[in-house]
Amino acid sequence: MAKYNFLLNGAPAEVDVDASTPLLWVLRDHLGLTGTKFGCGAAQCGACTVHLDGEAVRSCVFPIDAIAAGAKVTTIEGLGKDGLHRIQQAWIDHQVPQCGYCQPGMIMATAALLAAKPRPTTADIEASITNICRCGTYARIKQTILALHQ
């Protein structure tokens, strides 16, 4: 067990966990933030996507000891500072979710893409948003991301 200090959704966080504990389980089991979902446990589906220092990471395979002291972790709960983030609102406006399980990861991946490329092309979206949606809402996701910069 070791102590890890980082910024979580803009506030200081400290956990005392085994060094190999994946960030996903630190967030869910130790810090009570259940918006980040477990999907595959192999970094393939993206349901567990969070931001680490602004970059999208698959938290199910990201060990807590790989996080530098003072690093900034943002989860779906921290995306909107004063209510819904514009991406979350767009998801609602365009009726993107079906079952919704994968959507926190999709939204976090989209936020990272738009931070890097505010006006992504369809090719950018297809290359960057590699999350899996079992309901197949990919067309609505693409349309919504493209609509965010119109």
Q: In the chain, where does the domain assigned CATH 3.10.20.30 lie?
A: 2-79
**Given this structure, which CATH class describes domain 86-147?**
mainly alpha
pLDDT (tens digit, 9 = 90+) per residue, 44-100? 999 999 999 999 999 999 999 999 989 999 999 999 878 999 999 999 999 999 999
The more confidently predicted of residues 124 and 69 is 124
Question: What's the confidence (pLDDT) of residue 150?
Answer: 65
Which residues lie below 8 Å from residue 90, measured CB to CB, with a gap of 6+?
96, 144, 147, 148
pLDDT in tens, 2-49: 999 999 999 999 999 999 999 999 999 999 999 999 999 999 999 999
Residues carrying CATH 1.10.150.120, the chain? 86-147
Assigned CATH topology for domain 2-79: Ubiquitin-like (UB roll) (3.10.20)
